[in-house]
Structure 1
């Protein structure tokens, strides 16, 4: 069964980060819960990877404190499963029986840290701080890209074509020649593109095109 560090209250604040703990040892779950609550962090605890997979997770900045050795799906296999299902949550591994190959596999899989029990409380808190900040930045980046994609979808095929050529460094005259258009027509299209992409300047437009991965089609 899923254990919650605090009595259930819905919804969890959209601004409040959450630390998920997957650990089969009850005393360790309790100790970690008390540690995180002592610094004002929300915590949700699970006794197995399967329990967490079956739960609806809040859409907030978060990280996962994960034991390597678990009943059923191991911590390392759970890390791989999350990657396969495109769930991007920073992971801090902990183990009482660590070895170098295990830690190398964890770090290659993108883990933030690999802590050997018994670890210092401050080491865990430092790792969680780094992990939550990493997730917050990823979420902000995803939000920006999603917003740009909404704007990009409003462009016509011709405008997208011109944006790709602009992003490759071509001037209006060159774009007109390449597409067989009048230069004034290209200027009009560029004006529409600037407005639809909510670009404040050419440099701003180029940054947005780069973020979206807009590229000139190869001949």
Structure 2
């Protein structure tokens, strides 16, 4: 599992930290370890890529406290919760709060590797989605005020004729603006333009 992503392990038990590191090192996955949540948060700068493996029960802040703190900081690292005291209620709580997996100790090395691989995949998808949102925002910012008006009406399903009447311009002018919108947004079709607009709307909200 060669990767440029890192697994950040927050675990107060030295033997468990060593065990997790050994499993991940066996497939060449970079690992950083922390004895508690506070130590992990001290180094948080928003630039970490990979996933977080954290025990639920920690001295000081719990794994759930850490999960909430990262959410407040808008850090989107996929989180794998581990615990020696697993029950359905705790597992449901972890998953509802956004954890990608919940593993009960003792667990096999393969189970951990499978969970990390899935977390890495989710992180890749999140990074790609963020990059797309940034690109779409930049494209949208390049539109003129009139082009934004036309785009809003186009994705609402209005025809060029209706848009022209609403804006008080000719249908030919609308057609020109519409062409500019499609080119600037790099949309190959109306369906793609609608999808792009949906991404921007969800991001804004």
Question: Structure 1 length normalisation: TM-score?
Answer: 0.85
Aligned residue in 2 for 1:210 = 198
- Corresponding residue to 1:77 among 65, 84, 87: 65
Aligned residue in 2 for 1:120 = 108
Instruction: Mark the CA change 1:108 to 1:58 in structure 2 (over 3 Å): closer, same or farther.
Output: closer
Aligned residue in 2 for 1:34 = 22
Determine helix, strand or coil for the equivalent of 2:135.
helix
Aligned residue in 1 for 2:179 = 191
Q: Are the aligned partners of 2:155 and 2:190 in contact in 1 as well (CA < 8 Å)?
A: no
Q: Are the aligned partners of 2:55 and 2:81 in contact in 1 as well (CA < 8 Å)?
A: yes
Give 1:18 shift: 0.8
Matched, 1:200 2:188: yes
- Corresponding residue to 2:132 among 138, 144, 162: 144
Q: Are the aligned partners of 2:54 and 2:79 in contact in 1 as well (CA < 8 Å)?
A: yes
Give 1:198 shift: 2.2
Aligned residue in 2 for 1:11 = none
Matched, 1:158 2:150: no
- Structure 1 gaps of 5+ residues are 1-14, 215-219
Aligned residue in 2 for 1:175 = 163
Q: Are the aligned partners of 1:96 and 1:117 in contact in 2 as well (CA < 8 Å)?
A: yes
Give 1:209 shift: 2.1
Determine helix, strand or coil for the equivalent of 2:80.
strand
Structure 1 stretch displaced more, 135-144 or 98-107:
98-107
How do 1:19-30 and structure 2 match up within 5 A?
A: 19-30=7-18
Q: Are the aligned partners of 1:16 and 1:60 in contact in 2 as well (CA < 8 Å)?
A: no
Question: Structure 2 length normalisation: TM-score?
Answer: 0.91
Matched, 1:18 2:18: no
Determine helix, strand or coil for the equivalent of 2:158.
coil
In 1: Cα distance, 2:49 partner to 2:159 partner: 42
Aligned residue in 2 for 1:104 = 92
In 2: Cα distance, 1:86 partner to 1:204 partner: 28
In 1: Cα distance, 2:177 partner to 2:157 partner: 16
Matched, 1:63 2:44: no
In 2: Cα distance, 1:90 partner to 1:165 partner: 38
Give 1:56 shift: 4.2
Give 1:60 shift: 5.4
RMSD: 1.7
Structure 1 stretch displaced more, 50-59 or 185-194:
50-59
- Structure 2 gaps of 5+ residues are none
